[in-house]
Structure 1
Amino acid sequence: MSYQIKLEVFEGPFDLLLNLISRHRVSVYDVPLATITEEYLSYLGEMRQLDLEIATDFLLVAATLLEIKSAGLLPKPVPVEEDETLTAFDQRQLLIGRLIEYQKYKNAGLALGSRQKAESLFFSRKAGLEPELDQLLPDFLAGIDLSGFGEIIVKLLERERVRLIDANHIATIKISLEVKIDEIIKQLRRLYKQGRVDLRQPVAFGEIEIVKSRIN
């Protein structure tokens, strides 16, 4: 359970301030840190055991709010270049972003914790098979010594790897230009024999023209 606080401008869980401040529902300058700290120390005195999660929430939010307040009270140095300085609004947004980032990690931790709790409800079988079932399994290692293991490994290594899934779309197969030229020549010869194309050479030793046959 989160640490509860009660102020004039806010009442509820301490970490809820993060949500309200980020949505501009509560002004950070209206949150009395002295009152919050006093109530928190009193709350710690009543606890039998320190809750690290609540302590982390308090330190993070209180330190960030204190930095926001102090940034508005302390005198600002004279900037060398105006573009390099952050306005009060930018500083506030930067610190609020820090709080939101902390909340993300906190929520992720809670999600992982719930998963761990769910997994802890499952138990694996640690006992072996019943003797009558164990006897039904064949002994694949019967009669195999160290040299036999070596022969089996050699046979496995000599086997060609068979691809169960076509991986041609992943790695491009390289084909030489000579191979493609031979394929084109074979296809042209096949089309010429079938009468689907005509081969012409108007000039001796000139270029060969490939014309689609008019018969088809």
Structure 2
Amino acid sequence: MTQTHLYEVQLDAFVGPLDLLLHLIKEYEIDIYDIPMSELTNQYMSYIHAFESLEINLASEYLVMACELIRIKSELLLPVDDDIEVDDPREELVEQLLEYDNYKQSAQLLEEKYNERLLYVSKTPMDLTPYSNSQVELSDDLSLSDLIISYQRVKQRKKMIQQDEVVIYEDQYSVLEMNRLIYKHLDSSDREYVQFSNLANVIQHINGIVTIFIAMLEMIKHQQIIIKQEKAFSEILIYRGDYYGRL
């Protein structure tokens, strides 16, 4: 004897009988405030019979709704006495459908907002207390030479940033190569430090300078080097760190 297996599934993408009814109402352009119960019941029962013929076990709520639709359809077929005011048997069903549709639209809106929020990454606030008392020393005694030097630095920086055309270069520098370059200059320097500008002059190309800067950040993280500045916007000085020499 062959054993028949019954599977309980959702009908297409419907999450309940009200969802199925709303689908039928929209598909057949039925006026929800004046539902032709005969047409709606027939369409609903067609779905039910189609799945029963496939031996798919329907959720009980779908069968309960089928009974309710048949009941309402039967009441509408009964003769009506014009002298007696009778409530429309469809009224409760219409209220349920309108309320369900409202919740469904609200749920879709919340899902859209949730998906939009997934595109953002939140960052916890930083404690800036250690920097609250920091002060930048500004000199009131500026000479013409200082202004000329500052102007040349800004002009050079602007020249590096602005390009007449965008050129895409193949990667020619690696962080490891820049690490070795920094070690090389520190080992050969007759001072305790090397200047960042000296390293930048060796490479010159903006991609290499960016790679050197990334390498410096990695080396600072691993305490291989220490960065110092005498004052704001002054030359960046690179010193040996506690773990200097480890790649």
TM range (shorter): 0.3 to 0.5
TM-score (ref. length: structure 2):
0.32
TM-score by length of 1: 0.36
